[in-house]
């Protein structure tokens, strides 16, 4: 039976985590990266308004050996990107306050550098992906753990 993210009972994530706080380290260039055997691996940016889901995704991705930076909405994520964050992959929820996933994607599409960041939509409402500016992969919630880890590993491997 596939493992799914449906609750965070027993979640080992730090209860003091806050939006925008991840495990990425800052390099001398200001870009975030993880140190893994001497190689520089770009972090995964998780944009999700639900704290439990955001922390569960962060924990899963970190357990696969990747660093993670989080944002609670599109505006927070956009500010991090414009302040020098360079993720190797974005996991994007669509239904969020302040700036939703579709508005965030439209902002990314207008920026030549940011629009090249691989992005996967993770949403309970895949039909809302029709409002995206770019053609993106869509994963429906609740996500299967193996599926999300395979996608992250695929994108990270392509950019190492």
Residue spans of the domains in the chain: they are 30-158
Q: What is the pLDDT of residue 117?
A: 93
- Provide the token pair at 1: 């039976």
- State the residue for tokens 């409002």: 131
DSSP code, position 23: S
Q: What is the pLDDT of residue 38?
A: 35
Q: What is the pLDDT of residue 40?
A: 60
Q: What is the pLDDT of residue 115?
A: 92
- State the residue for tokens 């395979």: 150
User: What is the chain's Cα-based Rg?
Assistant: 15
Q: Domain 30-158: give its CATH superfamily.
A: Response regulator (3.40.50.2300)
The pTM of the full predicted model, rounded to 2 decimals, is: 0.74
Q: What is the pLDDT of residues 134-144, one digit of tens each?
A: 888 899 998 88
pLDDT at 3 over 60: no
């Amino acid at each position: 039976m596939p493992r799914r993210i449906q609750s965070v009972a027993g979640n080992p994530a730090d209860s003091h985590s806050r939006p925008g706080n991840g495990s990425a380290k800052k390099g001398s260039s200001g870009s975030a990266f993880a140190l893994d055997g001497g190689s520089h691996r770009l972090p995964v940016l998780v944009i999700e308004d639900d704290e439990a889901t955001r922390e569960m995704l962060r924990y899963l991705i970190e357990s696969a050996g990747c660093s993670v930076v989080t944002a609670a909405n599109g505006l927070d994520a956009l500010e991090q990107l414009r302040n020098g964050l360079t993720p190797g992959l974005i996991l994007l929820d669509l239904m969020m306050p302040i700036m939703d996933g579709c508005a965030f994607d439209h902002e990314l599409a207008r920026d030549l550098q940011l629009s090249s960041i691989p992005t996967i939509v993770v949403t309970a409402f895949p039909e809302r992906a029709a409002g995206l500016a770019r053609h993106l992969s869509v994963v429906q919630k609740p996500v299967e753990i193996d599926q999300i880890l395979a996608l992250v590993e695929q994108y990270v491997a392509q950019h190492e």
